[in-house]
Structure 1
Amino acid sequence: MATLTVLATAFLFAEFLSGTMLRAESADRPNIVLILADDLGFSDLGCYGGEIQTPNLDALAENGLRFTQFYNTGRCWPTRGSMMTGYYAQQIRRDYLPGVPSGGGNRSLRPDWAVLLPEMLSHVGYRSYHTGKWHIDDTPTNCGFVKTSLNRTGRYFNPKTGPNGKPLRPLEFDEEFYLTSAMADDAITNLKEHAEQHPDQPFFQYLAFTAPHFPLHALPEDIAVYADTYTEGWESIRRERWQQMQAMGILDPESARHVSPVERDLGPPYHFPEAFEILGDGETNRPVAWNRLTDKQKSFQATKMAIHAAMVHRMDIAIGRVLDQVRAMGCWEDTIVMFLSDNGASAEIMVRGDGHDPAQPPGSALTYLCLGPGWSTTSNTPFRRHKTWTHEGGIATPFIVSWPNRIKDRGQFRRNPQHVIDVAATLLDLTGATHPDDAPSPPGSSFLADLEDDHSADERTLWWYHDGHRAIRRGRWKAVSPVGEPWELYDLSNDRIESVDLALPHADILAELVAAWEQQLQESIELATKDLSDEARGKKAQWTRQSAVMSKAQQDGRIKRTQVLPNGESFFVADRHAFLMKPDAPAKTKLGKPWVFYAPALSRYPDTHESWMHQQFLDAGIAVAGIDVGEAYGSPHSQPFFDALYDEMTSRGYSTKPALLGRSRGGLYVSRFAIERPERVAAIGGIYPVLDYTSYPGVERAAAVYGVSADELQQRQDELNPVKNLDVIAEAGIPVYVIHGTDDRVVPIERNSAVLESAYQSAGNESAITLERVDGQGHNFWEGFFRSQKLIDFLIAAAKGD
């Protein structure tokens, strides 16, 4: 009995010491407030250049740090899963991987080792509270949170209920309730109860607002604040934001010298045509120029942005109230506060939930409005694209960190690339908590050192994959590929707005990044499936990226190529868009089926102006083909893709010596091919062709795709400028027929076609070239350019080998 008493006493003393040590250790650990906004754009906050009144977040930034290259996943549920675990969402089955069961919403799919932050923090003494949107599998209280509430979406106003507890029909709403404010109330209650009941433990409050996610619902008094703010239009507001961002120094001036060009043809990521019937004539699904909108559209659009601003405005007020509670508890100095958004602003337009009643005041409970691409472009200033895409506009988030006891470099910026996978890594680092012993090594990295001082971090690789959109960043280089489109390459050190695609001149770097992306994909598949049973793996065929409805909506929402291709087909060659217009009855030659190699084959070329001409080729049994190498401007780096198309065509039985046809900038393309491969050219035709890149597009625009500076491109003309190498074509005696206007100021005849004529004369082959000068015509759509029977007959004869 005495032995038992001694043992019991020793056990209780050990427990006492353990508890004392835990309290002593936890006293050195900061409290944590993690605040997540939903669909907030990079520039929406005042402290990131926006005009919306966000004094509480601005003060947080002024007394803390602003990160300028912080990334999310581009979508709500993957960001939440990544942020709460420190893994890529795909690794924990919270976003799509080929053949892997995964999904959004609340489906229970995470591996057992992928525990969430609150569970890990509980082992070092934290009590965790969740308020707001969840959108992770399982439930908050099963994942380490001791309390949870207000996990609701689709409504910001509370419907009144009847005796049965169900909403009244027709719906009536409680005027005293607004979801954003209620979330603040709940978080404040959590903090008060924690102070009263658990003062010796550090807390983790996760506050996940739904604002400013659609439907656009806001309090009337908040909407009134912005009633006249946005009537000047989205271009004006975007310009003002950019000017403010420059004045603040938000972005490295070398990385973003201007805003990204507006993609006028890019609308919502998913197209739901029925929504526009409900919303009426005021809605538009493209970011068209403001001055092209009707008065009704301008009013409708300005009101939508006013509601969006009001939602952000009220969220800031709610945040201020929560932070005031932390101060009232006397623990402000030792509380780390983090604020960010789950993705970029949304271009989506739809009607769901309680529907949209156009007779109700915009922003009220029975309306259902979405921001749309016009204002989303502004909210994501200065970046490209929107939520769901992996361009910067979809994945860049404002990120603010405050921690008075630790951050001394207050009000400054941190410019190292970071990702939501780093949130968990950092919080584990500063608290001493760890992942489970059986958890694989996470990709997230702690940025604790960035809180101490501004330093240059080692290059790291970050990876994205959502809705078929792909991206990878390594150091300053980023490769990105929208669903169904070729890979693009950008140097973010001088082009954060992703305006100049360097895929051609830096094909070696792109290839390395694409290989790294594929490797990460395969490693993620392996990690995401290693705990699955054979039965679960056997069902992989049923797992798809999207439902059939969403897949169709995304397909309908994609930018359409507007090439006019009589009897044509589109396909990919060397990961590039290519086309082939095929005659019903191909002519025959000794060298194979005849064809014309056309350029430029951009998204909108060839167009309707050339349809009659192309039909003449088809009627003569001659095919027409082209490959889209982007704005290559005759760069030698385009040649491998021209070779790839040539190889594809000859493998299909087409002639080994096609005729070339270059329209305008296409002259640079076909002249490059002829200079590099004169033995493969039957003849060259041209419609006001560009041959000199200094005349068009100019060395400043052409330099990037040539892979040199503008000064170097100017100095190396003898080597690089097609017009300086036309002697190769002339000496080969390749037959040429060119039609060019004498009044062309865009592509002056004297600096282009006339130089080609002179080269033939110097080579003694003047009989092989015909330059048809058209008096009084410029660079226009004069029918004679596109219905020149002489040019058409010349190309038909050359393609046939006649």
Structure 2
Amino acid sequence: MSDDMGYSDLGCYGGEINTPNLDKLAANGLQFTQFYNTARCCPTRASLMTGLYPHQTGIGHMTNPPQSDHHDYELPGYRGALSQHTITLAEQLKGAGYQTMMTGKWHLGMEEERMWPLQRGFDKFYGILAGAANFYSPTFPRGITEQNDTTAIHDPDYYTTDAFTDKAIEFIDKGQQKEPFFLYLAYNAPHWPIQAPKEDVDKYRERYRNGWGQLREERYKRMKKMGLIREDWPLSPQDSNGWDSLDGAKKDEMALRMAIYAAMVDRMDQNIGKLMDYLESRGELDNTVIMFMNDNGACAEGGPLGGGPAEQLETKKGYFLTYGRSWANASNTPFREYKHWIHEGGIATPFIVHWPEGIKDTRKGTRVDAYGHLPDIMATFIDLSMSEYPATKNGKALPKLEGESLLPLIAGNGEMDRDKPIFWEHEGNKGVREDNLKLVMKWDNEAEQHWELYDMEKDRTELHDLSGEMPDKVEEMAALWQEWAAANQVEPWDKIQKILSSK
């Protein structure tokens, strides 16, 4: 899993960033064009780990930051940590005889040890418990944890992306050779702070000097040529300052910010290649199911021109260093909005499945247009492991899984059995997708809320609102959303805001 990456950043999704290893996985596997996350980092991880909607897991908004209960709103869907009354992927697969390993970003609760990965089914863990850290020198309380112990970093060449991969390989290498393994490798790249090794940044120093507007056009044309998007889907309007309005020094700075971001994606791809090479050397690449996805759309935090002091760029210092909304708009080409929001730019993720022994040769390199979402992954892994999801935990009934298995699509022997809509809510932003129709609402404190309706087959860039033409359908789908919200611990956002402002 990558962190805060846009839909079109990878080469196989239309980007110019050098990602040969992920491109290879897509070319020899399946590439999903309509897979969805939940628009934010920790809710996505909660949904991925449990097969449930985030609010069912207690992470309807965010997890608590280090040494704080800031996001515990004392409501069942908003406790700021993953509910103990859930079954994680690791717990499920460990019960099915798998070794369970994790490296990278946890972000599902950290204040008590019972919230940590080893207490939620993982045999091995190395990574950060918090949501973000310095890539070169992660330090307390956003430092490195190995197993249940904090680990000080003294290596001057330390870089989290490299370390997470190296430790993942070490875990597999030292594991039981006769037992299958489950590895969850959750990179914190390219989440801020934007930091990358100089040799990778150097590849992109001159690449972005023509600005985000031209980059969007280049990616849009490439995506159409590749068949990733339809010719008749217009490019969404540019949501950024004009590049030519910047002076020379600011252009230099902004080109550097994007170059660092691109280098972070590049470095992640290099590490994925390292892991693939290791699996191949063991003779296990072909019989290992590899899934790749991102946790939310590109991040617009920090304003149009990014956050954090320019003088910290290309140093090993800094924390809140971002590339800004203008570049995020390009990363999400051709879609609207970003991380936090439920329009396609906030929830559309690249999703690649590679499994040479399970995907027929005639289907390798196929694009899958059927839509899916995070809870489908738990259902798929249950199918793959031939295990059963428990009905109860500690004598209490567990929530039923919310996803459908992707295995028929992966194996090519059938269609998905999706007989119900899929839903979203984050910070008052709402959505429901039923077949080709998507109903979506953007929260606005200062304006009346309005449902928008789009036909995802004809208008996935969400530029032609059908709500006025199809009011009955809006009413019907809005009622489905309200029913889902009432059944899944979703609270009105203005209620949550009042609690948040009182903390």
Normalised-by-shorter TM-score class: 0.7 to 0.9
Q: Is the Cα contact below 8 Å between 1:216 and 1:363 reproduced in 2? A: no
What are the Cα deviations for residues 277-312 of structure 1, in whole angstroms up to 9, with x where unaligned? xxxxxxxxxx11212222222222111110000000
Distance in 1 (alpha carbons) for counterparts of 2:254 and 2:166 = 32
1:329-368 to 2 correspondences below 5 Å: 329-349=282-302, 358-362=310-314, 364-366=316-318, 368=320
Q: Is the 8 A contact 1:131 1:206 kept in 2?
A: yes
User: More helix per residue: 1 or 2?
Assistant: 1
Cross-structure match for 1:388: 340
CA distance in structure 2 between the aligned counterparts of 1:466 and 1:180, rounded to whole angstroms: 28
2:371 to 406, 411, 417: 417
Which residue of the partner structure matches residue 174 of structure 2? 193
For residue 213 of structure 2, the aligned residue among 232, 235, 241 is: 235
Q: Is residue 53 of structure 2 the alignment partner of residue 100 of structure 1?
A: no
Identify the residue that residue 121 of structure 1 maps to in structure 2: 93
Amino acid of the structure 2 residue aligned with 1:179: T
Of residues 257, 273, 283 in structure 2, which corresponds to 1:304?
Answer: 257
Match of 2:238 in 1: 262
Q: 2:242 aligns with which of 289, 296, 321?
A: 289
Q: Is the 8 A contact 2:379 2:404 kept in 1?
A: yes
Q: What do the CA deviations read for 1:421-443 (whole angstroms, capped 9, x no partner)?
A: 11111011111122222223211
Report the counterpart of residue 4 of structure 1 in structure 2.
Answer: none
Residue number among 418, 427, 440 corresponding to 1:467 in the alignment: 427
Aligned pair in 2 of structure 1 residues 390, 546: CA closer, same or farther (>3 Å)?
farther
Preserved CA contact (<8 Å) 2:106 2:127: no
- State the 1:82 CA deviation: 0.4
Report which structure shows greater RCO (CA 8 Å, sep ≥6).
2
Residue 367 of structure 1: how far off its partner (Å): 6.7
Distance 1:66 1:132 in 2: 24
Query: CA separation in 2, counterparts of 1:475 and 1:297?
Result: 45
Structure 1 residue aligned with 2:17: 52
What's the % identity of the aligned pairs? 39
Separation in 2, partners of 1:345, 1:546 = 28
Question: Structure 1 residues 238-247 or 474-483, which shifts more?
Answer: 238-247
Report the CA distance between 1:261 and its aligned residue. 1.5
- 114, 117, 141: which is aligned to 1:140? 117
Residues 41-89 of structure 1: CA deviation (Å, up to 9, x unaligned):
0000001000000011011111001000000000000100101111101
1:459, CA displacement in angstroms?
Answer: 5.7
The answer for the alignment partner of 1:372 in structure 2 is 324
What is aligned with 2:39? 74
Provide structure 2 residue ranges, at least 5 long, that are not aligned to the other structure.
63-72, 110-114, 145-152, 393-397
Corresponding pairs, count: 458
Structure 2 distance, partners of 1:456, 1:522, is 30
Residues 152-201 of structure 1 show CA distances to partners (whole Å, capped at 9, x for unaligned) of 5320002799xxx9xxxxxx98531111111111111011112xxx1111
Separation in 1 of the partners of 2:309 and 2:211? 25
TM-score using structure 1 length? 0.55
Alpha-carbon separation, structure 2, partners of 1:357 and 1:481: 34
Aligned residue identity for 2:52? Y
- The aligned residue for residue 65 of structure 2 is none
Going from structure 1 to structure 2, the CA distance change for 1:356 and 1:173 (only over 3 Å counts) comes to: farther
Provide the rounded CA distance (Å) in 1 between the counterparts of 2:413 and 2:316.
Answer: 45
Q: Which has the larger radius of gyration?
A: 1
| 1:303 alignment partner AA | L
Residue 222 (str. 1) matches residue 200 (str. 2):
yes
The answer (yes or no) to whether the contact 2:428–2:443 under 8 Å persists in 1 is yes
- Does residue 515 (structure 1) correspond to residue 479 (structure 2)? The answer is yes
Establish whether residue 450 from structure 1 lines up as the match of residue 409 from structure 2.
Answer: yes
In structure 1, what is the Cα distance between the partners aligned to 2:273 and 2:82? Answer: 36
Other structure's SS at 1:400 match: strand
* Contact map agreement 1:44 1:51 (CA 8 A) in 2: yes
Q: How does 1:372-771 map to 2 (within 5 A)?
A: 372-408=324-360, 409-438=363-392, 439-453=398-412, 457=416, 460-484=420-444, 485-525=449-489, 547-548=500-501
Deviation at 1:325, TM superposition (A): 1.2
**Aligned partner of 1:131: which letter?**
T
SS at match of 1:95: coil
Distance 1:87 1:201 in 2: 28
The answer on whether the counterparts of 1:376 and 1:386 sit within 8 Å (CA) in structure 2 is yes
- Aligned-pair Cα RMSD in Å: 2.6
What are the equivalent positions in structure 2 for 1:169-180 lying under 5 Å apart?
174-180=155-161
Cα drift, residue 243 of structure 1? 1.4
TM-aligned CA deviation for residue 102 of structure 1:
3.9
Q: Please name the residue that 1:65 is paired with.
A: 30
Shift of residue 323 of structure 1? Answer: 1.4
SS of equivalent to 1:471: strand
State the shift of 1:405 in Å: 0.2
Distance 1:469 1:174, change over 3 A: same
TM-score of the superposition, structure 2-length normalised? 0.86
Q: 1:67 to 1:238 in 2, by over 3 A?
A: same
Residue 548 of structure 1 deviates from its aligned partner by 2.2
Q: Distance in 2 between matches of 1:108 and 1:40?
A: 24
CA distance 1:425–1:257, change in 2 (3 Å):
same
Query: 1:613 maps to which residue?
Result: none
How far is the alpha carbon of 1:455 from its aligned partner? 6.3
**Structure-1 separation of matches of 2:117 and 2:498:** 26
Q: 1:84 aligns with which of 33, 45, 49?
A: 49
